[in-house]
Structure 1
Amino acid sequence: MFPVTPEQLAQARELDLLTYLRRYEPDELIPHGNGSYATRTHSSLKLSNGKWYWWSRGVGGVTALDYLVEVQGLSLPDAVRQILGAGPMPPAAPVPTERRRPQPFRLPPRHTDDRRVMAYLTGRGIDAEILRACIRNNQLYEDAAHHNCVFVGYDGDTPRYAALRGTYPRSAFMGEVAGSDKRFSFAVPVRAGPRRTLCVFESAIDALSYLTLLKQGGQNWRTANTLSLSGVYGPNRRGHDKMPRALGQYLERNPIRRIVLCLDNDDAGRMAAQSLQRLLTDYLVLDNPPQGVKDYNDLLLRRSSSRRVRAGRGCDSRCRS
């Protein structure tokens, strides 16, 4: 067996996957915009921000070595040999700039029941009545093949977007259905109610957690307008603030006056909140991160575990109007 010294292993780990593919397998890279890529062999393997993730298998990493072991199935010594034995790096080949024709959007087939989805989401503290309302409105269901949560976003009465969340124990799987249009991300209700306040979250689970907190606090959760951004964006490389597509579309179609930013209490969430405050100058904007925890689901779980069934300071009154 090819011996691997600590020095050789460290040297092999210095090569990131994007550089490796650009230099040795440029035909594998398929641009997806904003500096992200998929691979031709594995369409669910995405590269972005210096990292890669294989969504269909739930594995990811940073280095080319991780990729050769986890995706290509090489042993660690063989993967090191492939990286170090390739000789001097050739010049980087140009990556094709053309994008594939957009895939048609099709919702995954629905399972005969939603038991795993209900068990998973109630296990994360979300109220069963709220979940059943989403299921009745065809905004949430369990997919037949993988038992994922499917959170559906609509353009009027037409599904245009679906976020996926794994329900298996210890699963970290998150993804989107191919062809999803982020302008129409998950929102409860599908159409804004009469109140002119919108509460904005990073994920569907955080939005549902917030509605649960409202209900636990004795408030009418059905009167709140919530939107998931399906991720957040800070300023781009040139320092320009970027409007999330879901929020821009929502504001074009609904007469919102006040926006409450309920984004995560981490670096990415704080940067995105600051960016949105600079952009949304025509609205009353309040920054309302969950205090003492990362996100609103963490806040819900903490309050549920301590049996304090009230929405409390920092999550309820700001989102009423």
Structure 2
Amino acid sequence: MNIEERRNETKAYDLVTLAADLGFTPVKVSSRFISLEEHDSVMINITRNTFKQYSTGAFGDPVAFCMSLGVEKNSRFKNLEYAIQYVEEKIKLNPDNRIEIKNRRVRTEKKDLILPLHDFNNNKIYYYMENRCIDRDIVDEFIANKWLYQEKAHHNLVFVSYKNEKPVFITEKGIIQESRFMKEYPDNDYDHCFFVDYNSNTLIVTEAIVDMMSLMTLNKECYKEYSYLSINSTTKDNAIYKQIQNNPEIRNVMLRFDNDEAGIKATKRIKERLQEEFPQIHVDVEYPPAEKDWNDYLVYSVCQKEKINEYTIVF
């Protein structure tokens, strides 16, 4: 077999087992996602047997996991051949791909999410959102509902979603405008994600919360006619199906992902699953008419702002 065929064979090895093999501590965060105690930005999708490290952007299969995180344990994992050989040996030792893992600690109950400290004001939120052309009334609504506030230590934007008035999903966004820094919390409920409920029969789904707010801005006169869900990626789509199950009034799903390879692939996959599992749901697909995502479309095409340096900090 050539190296590509060998790597394809290694994709069968259970990533949670691999993480424990390498000395990490897997921690369950939802029915589909496992994080690591040592790296709370890592999410392993147990359905697809893939991972993503949100702090670095690294993602992929077991070999990619070795090359991204295994290097902490052994620098030889930088070499693709070595990483493939390592996983191949693990498969030989454990042909069923699953073993009893002594250091695999699974939480049966989630811990309560602890909100980051509030800053004294929300000035940087307003500056940031103004630069991203988000309507001021919508920003005020998010703040008034405690869906958004400014974090004290780094002045990050903190987005909070609630279930039964209890925080269940928190994500932070940095104030460097185009760096797209995001921080998620290991006890987040990824069956919920960031959900804004206007008791509508139509659910709009986006990759990012700022894209959600952009669509609200673009439809300012009627945005409350829809409910909204940001899954904060292209992979946490389980929240879509859960929200449909939990909100039987939903009859329409509008997928509004990025106009790039990842967004298009995710849209196709999610639409197919929705049509298979929820045939009563009407699925509508639309991509930004210009630019990669809905916020860029709002900023650069609709508001026609000049593109800034990617390291501009909003003060």
TM-score of Structure 1 vs Structure 2, range by shorter chain: 0.5 to 0.7
Distance 2:237 2:194 in 1: 23
Provide the C-alpha distance between the structure 2 equivalents of 1:106 and 1:289, rounded to a whole number of angstroms: 35
Task: Please tell me the residue identity of whatever aligns with 1:99.
Answer: V
* 1:114 aligned partner, one-letter code: N
User: Are positions 1:99 and 2:106 aligned together?
Assistant: yes
| Correspondence for 1:272 | 270
Q: Does 1:30 align with 2:26?
A: yes
Q: Distance in 1 between matches of 2:37 and 2:250?
A: 42
Structure 2 counterparts to residues 74-85 of structure 1, below 5 A: none
Whole-angstrom distance in 2 between the partners of 1:186 and 1:19: 27
Structure 1 residue 268: Cα displacement? 1.1
Could you list the runs of 5+ residues in structure 1 that have no partner in the other structure? 1-14, 237-241, 308-321
Q: 1:185 to 1:224 in 2, by over 3 A?
A: farther
2:24 partner letter: E
Over 3 Å counting, the alpha-carbon distance change for 1:24 and 1:111 in structure 2 is closer
- String of CA shifts for 1:120-149, please: whole Å, max 9, x gaps: 333233222211221111111122234332
1:50–1:185 distance in 2 versus 1, CA, 3 Å: closer
Structure-to-structure mapping, 1:1-321, within 5 angstroms: 22=18, 25-30=21-26, 32=28, 36-48=33-45, 52-55=51-54, 57-58=55-56, 60=58, 62-67=64-69, 71=72, 89=89, 91-92=93-94, 94=99, 96=101, 99-101=106-108, 102-188=110-196, 190-192=197-199, 196-215=201-220, 219-221=221-223, 223-230=224-231, 231-232=233-234, 244-249=241-246, 251-252=247-248, 255-265=249-259, 266-306=264-304
2:217 aligned counterpart, secondary structure: helix
Q: Distance in 2 between matches of 1:284 and 1:78?
A: 46
- What letter matches 1:263 in structure 2? F
Q: Is there any run of 5+ residues in structure 2 with no aligned partner, and where?
A: 1-9, 306-315
SS at match of 2:111: coil
Relative to structure 1, is the Cα distance of residues 124 and 95 closer, same or farther in structure 2, using a 3 angstrom cutoff? farther
Q: Decide whether aligned partners of structure 1 residues 248 and 106 sit closer, same or farther in structure 2, where only a CA change above 3 A counts.
A: farther
Q: What is the deviation of 1:99?
A: 1.6
What is the DSSP-based 3-state SS (H/G/I as helix, E as strand, rest coil) of the residue aligned with 2:39? Answer: coil
Pair member with larger Rg:
1
Aligned to 1:314: none
Residue aligned with 1:144, SS = coil
Q: How far apart are residue 235 of structure 1 and its match?
A: 9.8
Q: Distance between the aligned counterparts of 1:23 and 1:284, measured in 2?
A: 39
| Alpha carbons 1:39, 1:45 under 8 Å: kept | yes
Alignment RMSD: 4.3
Aligned partner letter, 1:44: S
Match of 1:113, SS state, is coil
1:237-291 per-residue CA deviation (whole Å, 9 max, x = no partner) reads xxxxx95323432x24xx3444433334421123212322343333444333333
Q: How many residues align?
A: 277
CA contact (8 A) 2:41 2:183 kept: no
Paired with 2:277 and 2:20, the residues of 1 have a C-alpha distance of 42
Distance, in Å, in 1 between the alignment partners of 2:174 and 2:266 is 23
Deviations 1:84-140 (A, max 9, x none): 999x94635825376224332222222222233333333233222211221111111
Rate the CA distance shift 1:191–1:289 in 2: closer, same or farther, 3 A: same
For residue 286 of structure 1, what is the amino acid of its counterpart? D
| Alignment check: 8 A CA contact 1:26 1:94 kept | no
CA shift digits 1:204-224 (9 cap, x unpaired):
222111011113xxx243x33
Flag the 1:279–1:124 CA change in 2: closer, same or farther, 3 A: farther
